Structure 1
Amino acid sequence: MSENEKKLGLHSVVSVSVGLVIATSCLVSLGQGAGSVGVIFIVAMIVACLLNMTTIASLSELNALMPNTTGGLAQYTLACMGPFPTLISMVGGYLICNIMSSGVEASIFAYAMATTIPLPIPSIVWTLIMTAIVTIANLFGVDMFAKLQDVVAFLLVGSMVVLGLIGMFKLGTGQVVTQPYNMTTKFSDVIPTVAIAFWLFIGAEYVIPVSKNVKNAKRNVPLGMIIGLALICVVQSIMVLGFHNYTPWDDLLNSAAPHLLYGENLLGKAGRIWMTIVSVLAVVSSQNSTVNGLSEICQGMAKMNMMPRIFAKTNKRNVPWFGVIFVSVFIFVFAKLSDGSSDAISFLILVGSVFWMISYILAHMDVLILRRRLPKAPRSFKVPLGPVLPVIGIAGIVYMILNISTDPVERNMIWLVTGITFAVLAVYSFFWIKFKMKMPVFKSVPLEKVMAMENSMYYKIRKRRGIWR
């Protein structure tokens, strides 16, 4: 097989983007958002989708300026703001958040399997089986990953479109529900649901770490991510219209698994089984994207000595094997912690949203900083309209963090958990940077030096000189 044939095409970029974005936790958020305001939730989804597209544009420009960086956002932020915010945001905003959200995914999947296939085994066994399958597939490298992702993304999106269209055109075997399209006519009631909708579009940037394996990356990476987000918005909108015809809004809002409820109301037992299959595809898709993407990010951070060196080691298929196993194990741990608790699942989704939003703010800030610091540096992709889109992105994300929940008690608890987590990470980051990395804590690293960190000789030379241990 030639080198060119091994490269990923545009369709693979779209499937990777879709892979993490469409997930069972998204179906839970979709049900909660639609159940709270009705079909008008689609407006909130469009706003959230556009905000995420501004982030995708910023990350695409950063990737164009610093191509083939395995650490992605970690290396961009290191060049802009120094190691301290980089380490905090990457460990908190990416590693913990992504592992936690994938654990939630696995927990929802286990619940769906246990209720649909009543076997005398604990539900967590289903999670263990799925985690093992995804781990082994990823250890076979990018080719296996691409093949698995393409099939899963196609089946997942196809199933959701068909189920949504059946509901939208009232073709189901279940009883059609008579209810208003919207639960509110006030736009002020819809605005807070943008924060719920934001979770539906998180994760398309997982293409960035594998961009070095993409054909014509400067075009296919940003285009694939944007197509992926637009595709998700259309599919989720069709689902909302289907919800309206077959699932009472209140039932949808209060259900721990609204997608299973919709499937059963739509097509009876067959619909529930079909939605369970969708849950299986979703957890394969999201967990596959998470394990692959995070292992690559950990590899890039290890090259910069921001994580233990073992994360940079690869197997004979050039896969960062330790990162794959590490991420998979902790996904299973979080699945066990949230197993069977709908309240824990909902809370963890919102906490994860805040972590992820903070990392997106840093991406926009990186673009603004590098535009000012390196205005003439060559970029194969540049965010249009100057600083306008990054500033809009930052403002929109800050607003969503401030309105992460309509319940003030839950909102304060989310802020508290986020604050404590970042405070602990700040202490860890300070000592790791000062005594392990032996670098100025708050000083940005020159761009060319960050790029040089991709070469294994950079680490060897610093280690030989006694700078890194």
Structure 2
Amino acid sequence: MNEKAGLTSGLKKVLGLTSLFIITIGIVVSQTSVVSIVQGAGLGGGTFFMAIFIAFIIALCYISTYSELALMMPKAGSISTYTAVSVGHFMAIIASLSAYAAPALFGALAELLLLQNVLDSISPSSFTTVALAVVWTFTFLNIFGIDLFASVQSIISFTMLVTLIVIGIAGLGTFNNQGLPPHQIMHDLMHPDASVFTLVLAALWPFIAFEMVCDFIEEAKNPVRHIPKAMFTACIVLLFAYSLLAFVAMKLVPAEQLAQTDVPHLLLGKVIFGNVGKIVILILSITTTCGFISTGFATTPRLLYGMAHHKQLPPIFMRLHSKWRTPWIGILVLATLLTIAILLFKKSTDTLLMLVISGASCYLLAYIITHIDLIVLRKKYPNYPRSYKSPFFPLLQIVGILGMTYAFIHNSPSPELRSTVFINVALFIGLTAVFAFCWVKFKMKKGLFEAEPIEQAIDD
């Protein structure tokens, strides 16, 4: 197949509901998600369940918004497509790069360093190159085809979900209770205090990124039925899994220990399983990290692929491999950037965690933009065919915007860290804004807020 065919032929439609559900779980559940839940349990006690439920409602709001937008414009570009049609390419590029590509890089780096911390806790200095090995293993797995990726991802995500549930169920049967008694947990749940609002971001981070499965919409066999169902089902399943994990953590481990350690899940595993707990948590750590890295390599290059189709990035990013039909250039670029980041930041865990919080805050801004996209497009294209319509419009969008705004403003309990996060977010957005301005103005030769007709966006 020649190069031109590699640029113009589409992605392969091979993903059914089960594969999409498994991919969604793999996207969302990460080590940082597990740590956030366990540490949140230590910080909030029974009150943290209210924060989890608030985060769940906020997640349902953005899932509903993305379901409508994704099925209106079934392209791999996701937010870059929706925003280009609603408010123009300038905001589309900013939303895509500052709120997805940059946070994905730092999030992946956090996962790899956390895996390294767990391995060092079990066997110090024995696995010094594990991060690079994971990166390049999943680089080639993703280049070799979406069907191979889906098969490997199914095994990883299924093992991860089962391990998470096993930890929760085993914790219920453990009587070595050193944490809060169940009646105290129930009392805190029934009488929450103001601390619930400071815990929303800790609870929301484990519910971020369901929408990234929309980047596989061109490879889904039946996207109309399966894309929304995969996201909503995964969100409900994780609500129960996270709540169970938080409960056993509160019950079994003293709150101050959960809140102060960098590897609270390893501590929980030792309490439940004894020395065998190291192996259980190692399995969880490996599967969550590998699942997160693998889906990151699958989703982010497809976002870049969609942006290139809209001429928001150089056309090289929409080049597909001649045999496996994968966006291999984007995959290699991401792998190279992540390799450089590993070599630069492997000794800077504290700095990295601060950057991850900054990345999470950028995600929140992306969700706000997406809710605004839907409100604009409902008014701009009121009669456009929609195979899924977000119910109670615009209530869910308003709730989502307010919830994300609150979580963004209160992104950290520390005023100093909060200020640093705001600076980092401004830096992310500022750099991408400069690129977006130059690219739209001089390369695309369009107005900054010149919206793209929806028909053209779909046909690109």
Is 2:114 the partner of 1:113?
Answer: no
Q: 2:142 aligns with which of 138, 151, 162?
A: 138
Report what 2:173 is aligned to.
169
Report what 2:7 is aligned to.
none
Kept after mapping to 1: 8 A contact 2:47/2:195: no
Report what 1:179 is aligned to.
180
User: Following the alignment from structure 2 to structure 1, what is the Cα–Cα distance between the partners of residues 394 and 102?
Assistant: 30
Kept after mapping to 1: 8 A contact 2:50/2:192: no
User: Following the alignment from structure 1 to structure 2, what is the Cα–Cα distance between the partners of residues 336 and 30?
Assistant: 29
Is 2:52 the partner of 1:51?
Answer: no
Report what 2:331 is aligned to.
324
Q: 2:308 aligns with which of 302, 305, 314?
A: 302
Q: Structure 1 residues 79-88 or 256-265, which shifts more?
A: 256-265
User: Following the alignment from structure 2 to structure 1, what is the Cα–Cα distance between the partners of residues 116 and 284?
Assistant: 13
Is 2:392 the partner of 1:385?
Answer: yes
User: Following the alignment from structure 1 to structure 2, what is the Cα–Cα distance between the partners of residues 158 and 416?
Assistant: 39
Kept after mapping to 2: 8 A contact 1:207/1:221: yes
User: Following the alignment from structure 2 to structure 1, what is the Cα–Cα distance between the partners of residues 172 and 346?
Assistant: 32
User: Following the alignment from structure 1 to structure 2, what is the Cα–Cα distance between the partners of residues 38 and 296?
Assistant: 40
Amino acid in structure 1 at the alignment position of 2:170? I
Kept after mapping to 1: 8 A contact 2:120/2:126: no
- Shift, 1:120, TM fit: 4.5
**Alignment partner of 2:158: what SS?**
helix
Residues 51-89 of structure 1, C-alpha deviations (whole Å, 9 max, x = no match): 11111111110112112x111110110000101111111
Kept after mapping to 1: 8 A contact 2:40/2:202: yes
Relative to structure 1, the CA distance from residue 120 to residue 370 in structure 2 (aligned partners, 3 Å threshold; closer, same or farther) is closer
Relative to structure 1, the CA distance from residue 277 to residue 336 in structure 2 (aligned partners, 3 Å threshold; closer, same or farther) is farther
RMSD value, Cα = 1.8
Report what 1:66 is aligned to.
73
Q: 1:30 aligns with which of 32, 37, 41?
A: 37
Amino acid in structure 2 at the alignment position of 1:187? D
Report what 2:273 is aligned to.
267
Report what 1:339 is aligned to.
346
Q: 1:79 aligns with which of 67, 76, 85?
A: 85
Kept after mapping to 2: 8 A contact 1:93/1:359: yes
- Shift, 1:31, TM fit: 2.2
- Shift, 1:276, TM fit: 1.1
**Alignment partner of 2:325: what SS?**
coil
Kept after mapping to 1: 8 A contact 2:179/2:255: no
Report what 2:153 is aligned to.
149
- Shift, 1:392, TM fit: 1.0
- Shift, 1:209, TM fit: 1.3
Kept after mapping to 1: 8 A contact 2:106/2:352: no
Kept after mapping to 2: 8 A contact 1:104/1:348: no
Q: 1:91 aligns with which of 85, 93, 97?
A: 97
Residues 391-439 of structure 1, C-alpha deviations (whole Å, 9 max, x = no match): 1111111111111111111111111111122122212211111112221
Q: 1:126 aligns with which of 130, 153, 157?
A: 130
- Shift, 1:278, TM fit: 0.7
Kept after mapping to 2: 8 A contact 1:48/1:198: yes
- Shift, 1:32, TM fit: 2.2
TM-score normalised by structure 2 residue count: 0.92
Kept after mapping to 1: 8 A contact 2:41/2:247: no
- Shift, 1:210, TM fit: 0.9
TM-score normalised by structure 1 residue count: 0.91
**Alignment partner of 1:237: what SS?**
helix
**4+ residue segments displaced more than 6 Å:** none
Residues 242-291 of structure 1, C-alpha deviations (whole Å, 9 max, x = no match): 11232111111111111111112222221012101111000111111111
Q: 1:411 aligns with which of 418, 424, 443?
A: 418
Report what 1:365 is aligned to.
372
Report what 1:465 is aligned to.
none
- Shift, 1:320, TM fit: 0.6
Report what 1:236 is aligned to.
242
Report what 1:276 is aligned to.
282
User: Following the alignment from structure 1 to structure 2, what is the Cα–Cα distance between the partners of residues 197 and 440?
Assistant: 39
Residues 314-373 of structure 1, C-alpha deviations (whole Å, 9 max, x = no match): 112110101111112223333444435553343233211111011111111111011001
Unaligned runs of 5+ in 2: 1-11
Amino acid in structure 1 at the alignment position of 2:250? H
**Alignment partner of 1:331: what SS?**
helix
Aligned residues: 443
**Alignment partner of 1:191: what SS?**
helix
Q: Structure 1 residues 111-120 or 129-138, which shifts more?
A: 111-120
Unaligned runs of 5+ in 1: 454-469
Kept after mapping to 1: 8 A contact 2:30/2:289: yes
User: Following the alignment from structure 2 to structure 1, what is the Cα–Cα distance between the partners of residues 124 and 416?
Assistant: 37
Report what 1:288 is aligned to.
294
% same residue: 27
User: Following the alignment from structure 2 to structure 1, what is the Cα–Cα distance between the partners of residues 179 and 26?
Assistant: 34
Q: Structure 1 residues 354-363 or 35-44, which shifts more?
A: 35-44
- Shift, 1:39, TM fit: 3.0
Q: Structure 1 residues 182-191 or 52-61, which shifts more?
A: 182-191
Is 2:24 the partner of 1:14?
Answer: no
Amino acid in structure 1 at the alignment position of 2:422? W
Report what 1:420 is aligned to.
427
- Shift, 1:11, TM fit: 1.4
User: Following the alignment from structure 2 to structure 1, what is the Cα–Cα distance between the partners of residues 177 and 77?
Assistant: 49
Q: Structure 1 residues 110-119 or 128-137, which shifts more?
A: 110-119
Is 2:43 the partner of 1:39?
Answer: no
Residues 207-259 of structure 1, C-alpha deviations (whole Å, 9 max, x = no match): 11112222321111101101111111111111111112321111111111111
